[in-house]
Amino acid sequence: MAISNQFSGQPDALGPVTAGVPKKIRSTRLSKPGVVEFAAPPKPEFSFNLKPADIARHLNRFVIGQREAKKVLSVALCDHFQHVRLTLEGDATPFYQKQNVLLLGPTGVGKTHLIRSAAELIGVPFVKADATKFSETGYVGGDVDDLVRDLVRRAGGDVKQAEHGIIYLDEVDKLATRGESGGRDVSGRGVQTNLLKLMEDGDVPVVSPNDMTGQLQSAMSAMRGGGVPQPETINTRHILFIVSGAFSGIGEIIRQRVLSSGRSRGNEAASRTTKDDQSLLTSAATSDFISYGLEPEFIGRLPVRVACHGLDTDDLFDVLRKSESSLIHQYERAFAAYGIKCEFKDDGLRRLAELAATEHTGARGLMTICERVFRDLKFKLPGSRVKCFAVTATLVDAPAQELRRLLARASR
């Protein structure tokens, strides 16, 4: 069976695609450090030559910080690819155990962004969904089996290719039952249970039993015969699962556990550890996730866990200045559409970062601040005589005043 790289970077599956990255990456080759070349035409056979460091280098272009998460993700992806390759060559590792990944960390620090950026490099079918859209019965929300069927769609109908794909499930913390997290109650538990068999080794019918049109179509094509016969079920044994969630409030659960075990051992270091939120998250144990409201069987199937750190002012400054997916490109383009050059100065970027840090919503705070700063400028400047302006700390602190000054100067 051949797997080509044509499935990489499915924009519709991933939400907005990272700026500057081709929508369809056919094959990837690293020639210079940090530069991924996207070469056509697609190779018909499965080829994956990237090493973990290559993937991490690609992620560095878009995601600031999160070194540990980049490392873990890069290794997990490479392991998956090597496993797929060996399986396709008939040399599958006996008793191979999947290394499903869990990413956790505060809101807006790049968990989804990491996976979205990695997806650009992925040469196997890849689907992304929010755990919140599923319900236990599939009546109100979707059915978790639909995720697997989506992989087949991404694989152009080829079940064998879909069986080696990757499923990314975001917002899994919202599946927590009402434990100490105050989560979603019984329906979340039902969705977790439904996911269990998929995460290990399950068979999903290619056509949903609820899809009458699909049932009819497959019956008709079976009657007509011809073409390559496709299996009726998709086996999930080789599908890699990556999940993520903010798990807000889990820090307190970890703190309590560390404190009580420290007290029982008279360990002073334990209480010191609890002061640092980041080291708290990195020491999250299986029992903490269970207290949070995840089922033991569910968290047990996610052996690789990594915490993303919060973003401080320096990180946010770098998100604006260095990331290829920086928000500033969006603003530059928005003004350029009206023939206005908008030039971001370092002191302006730093001020934006400082203000965003006070929002405590990670890099999302940058959008909130920029929206406030640029609202009137975006409304008034198009059509005015202003043809260029600089974003300085002065403009960020007093945009209305700066706007008046720009308009007055241009009308002279």
Ligand X SMILES: Nc1ncnc2c1ncn2[C@@H]1O[C@H](COP(=O)(O)OP(=O)(O)OP(=O)(O)O)[C@@H](O)[C@H]1O
109 binds ligand X (CB under 6 A): yes
Q: Which is nearer to ligand X, 177 or 323 (CB)?
A: 323
Q: Which is nearer to ligand X, 112 or 236 (CB)?
A: 112
Q: Which is nearer to ligand X, 66 or 274 (CB)?
A: 66
319 binds ligand X (CB under 6 A): yes
CA angle 158, 159, 161 (to 5 degrees): 70
- Total chain residues near Mg ion (CB under 5 A): 2
110, interface contact from ligand X, Mg ion, none, CB < 5-8 Å by kind: ligand X
Closest residue to bound ligand X by CB: 110
Q: Which of residues 96-135 bind Mg ion (CB under 5 A)?
A: 111-112
Q: Distance between CA 312 and CA 309 in Å, rounded?
A: 9
Q: Which is nearer to ligand X, 57 or 83 (CB)?
A: 57
> Stretches 63-71, 174-182, 229-237, 372-380: which one binds ligand X (CB under 6 A)?
63-71
CB of 360 to ligand X, least distance (A): 12
365 binds ligand X (CB under 6 A): no
Among 9, 110, 123, 165, binds ligand X (CB under 6 A): 110
362 binds ligand X (CB under 6 A): yes
Which residues contact residue 348 at a Cβ distance below 8 angstroms, ignoring those fewer than 6 apart?
390, 391, 392, 393, 395, 396
Binding-site string for Mg ion from residue 372 to residue 401, where x marks contact by CB under 5 A and - marks none: ------------------------------
66 binds ligand X (CB under 6 A): yes
First to last CA, the chain: 70
Among 57, 83, 113, 351, binds ligand X (CB under 6 A): 113
Q: Which of residues 213-252 bind ligand X (CB under 6 A)?
A: 246
149, interface contact from ligand X, Mg ion, none, CB < 5-8 Å by kind: none
Contacts with ligand X, residue ranges (CB under 6 A):
63-66, 107-113, 246, 319, 323, 325, 362-364
